[in-house]
Amino acid sequence: MVGGRRGTLLAALLAAWVAAAAAEAEAGSEQAAVPEERSLVRPMTASNWTLVLEGEWMLKFYAPWCPSCQQTDSEWETFAKNGEILQISVGKVDVIQEPGLSGRFFVTTLPAFFHAKDGIFRRYRGPGIYEDLQNYILEKKWQSVEPLTGWKSPASLTMSGMAGLFSISGKIWHLHNYFTVTLGVPAWCSYVFFIIATLIFGLFMGLVLVVISECFSMPLPRHLSERSEQSLQSEEAHTAEQLQDVEEEKDDSNEEENKDSLVDDEEEKEDLGEEDEAEEDEEDSAVTGRDEERSDALDQRPPGEAPEDEAPGGETGDNTPEQPSLAGAEVAAEDTLRQRKSQHPDKGPS
């Protein structure tokens, strides 16, 4: 009895498992029968981005980790479905996988939208909503937006160089992630590796430039080099002679100036001596003239006659006490001076 019950239970479990497996297989076949909806947004890469130079395009730059980019994905898909009606192509660029294109368009914020019409690019700064995008195309609002021309154009040589720099930076970033994540190398070791690689690359490029310059620079023939050396020596000698002549002229001019200044000083001294002598002569002549006049006046006065300022009896006209007149005092002082002068020559050395 027990064995029969166990056999019946196992048979029931086996039948249930078979039924479940059959149901899952049917569900899988039904899902496989429904075709997956194909996206009309065309991924753009560095190899096919030149397609946007012809016709009218709208491009979206995004990153998988960007929340704002994810919010506009459904709107961008709807806009792409109506692209045939609007006669416009719709594309998208993953900046993580295509850093060169992000550098070519100089993308600094995400998401970023661009409109292209026959190779002329404009930046769309509106919201990424289907209605706004549709109105932007139907009403041709892009005509009022300033295009990216000149060096700012993605097709210019400048932005091509920028794309190359961004591509190199993206490869370096991927290599850094490979070292740190895949191989488990510490981050500082990766930084040291890139620093050393940068120095070695710079030295190598400098060596290449030197070799190129040496290859393209033609050396001068021997006779031309000798002539150039001789000409340089002659020019140096000529310049040295000119410097010597200038110094000699300066010395001569300084000597002449010194001589002129000495002569002027001597002439000034002579003039001053002559002026002093003339003043002394004038003073001596004036003194002698006054002496002669006074002596003549004294000789002509009769003896016993008193001076004009004195009254008889030794009194003045004003009845003042007896005083010598000013003229008499001067005469007496001059007489004493003459006596002293006459005495000095007579004295000899003691």
Residues belonging to the active site: 66, 69
For residue 53, list its beta bridge partners: none
Residues in the chain: 350
Residue pair 46/38 in contact by the 8 Å Cβ criterion: no
DSSP-derived 3-state class of residue 279: helix
**Is residue 35 reached through a cis peptide bond, with omega within 30 degrees of 0 on the bond before it?**
no
* Pairing outcome for strands 89-94 and 56-62: parallel
DSSP-derived 3-state class of residue 216: helix
Residue pair 326/310 in contact by the 8 Å Cβ criterion: no
Q: How far apart are the first and last CA of the chain?
A: 186
**Is residue 111 reached through a cis peptide bond, with omega within 30 degrees of 0 on the bond before it?**
yes
Distance CA 74, CA 39 (A): 11
Instruction: Read off the tokens for 228.
Output: 């150039």
Instruction: Show Cβ contacts of residue 102 under 8 Å, excluding neighbours closer than 6 positions.
Output: 61, 93, 95, 166
Dihedral class, residue 290 (left if φ above 0, else alpha if ψ from -120 to 50, else beta): alpha
Distance CA 135, CA 144 (A): 13
The beta strands (E) that lie in the chain are given as 42-43, 56-62, 89-94, 112-117, 120-124, 310-311, 315-316
Residue-wise DSSP of 102-159: HHHTT--SSSEEEEEETTEEEEE-S---HHHHHHHHHTTGGGGSPPB-GGGSTTSHHH
Calculate the alpha carbon distances from 189 to 104, 169, 300 in Å: 31, 18, 135
